[in-house]
């Protein structure tokens, strides 16, 4: 399965270290859940590897700074029943790529 969406919000993992308020994290999670609604119910039934390819119009983040967005996307996949769960039984590996692009977007490839 390939999911290709505009990035709901560009947010770095550093924002969590800076002490982001729980209500802002909740709003971000809600936006990420909505970003995958069109894929709702297209369930991946077998264990998979998830590849997250981030493209940024300006200032690409280093890969590790995309990890918070990866977690929100993975949770959104569970929320929208794309993944049954995000445990090691269903997600064996995660790979993160970050590069320059024409717009802020993310492609998720489940292999």
Q: What does 50-73 look like in DSSP terms, one character per residue?
A: EEEEEEESSSPPPGGGGHHHHHHH
Mean pLDDT within 5-23: 84
8 A C-beta contact, residue 67 and residue 84: no
Place of tokens 């802020």: 104
Task: Place 109 in a pLDDT band, splitting at 50, 70 and 90.
Answer: very high
pLDDT (tens digit per residue) in 29-87: 999 999 999 999 899 878 999 999 999 999 999 999 999 999 999 999 999 999 999 99
The pLDDT of residue 15: 77
Domains belonging to the chain, first-starting first, are 2-110 (3.30.1330.70)
State whether residue 100 is helix, strand or coil. Answer: strand
What is Dmax (Cα atoms) for the chain?
37
Q: Say whether pLDDT at 20 is over 80.
A: no
């Amino acid at each position: 399965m390939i999911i290709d969406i505009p990035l709901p919000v560009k947010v770095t993992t550093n924002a969590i270290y800076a002490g982001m308020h729980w209500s802002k994290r909740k709003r971000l999670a809600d936006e990420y859940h909505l970003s995958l609604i069109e894929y709702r119910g297209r369930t991946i039934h077998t264990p998979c590897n998830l590849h997250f390819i981030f493209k940024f119009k300006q200032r690409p983040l280093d890969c590790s700074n995309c990890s918070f967005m990866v977690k929100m996307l993975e949770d959104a996949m569970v929320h929208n029943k794309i993944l049954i769960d995000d445990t090691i039984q269903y997600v064996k590996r995660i790979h993160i790529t970050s590069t320059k692009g024409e717009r802020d977007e993310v492609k998720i490839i489940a292999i």
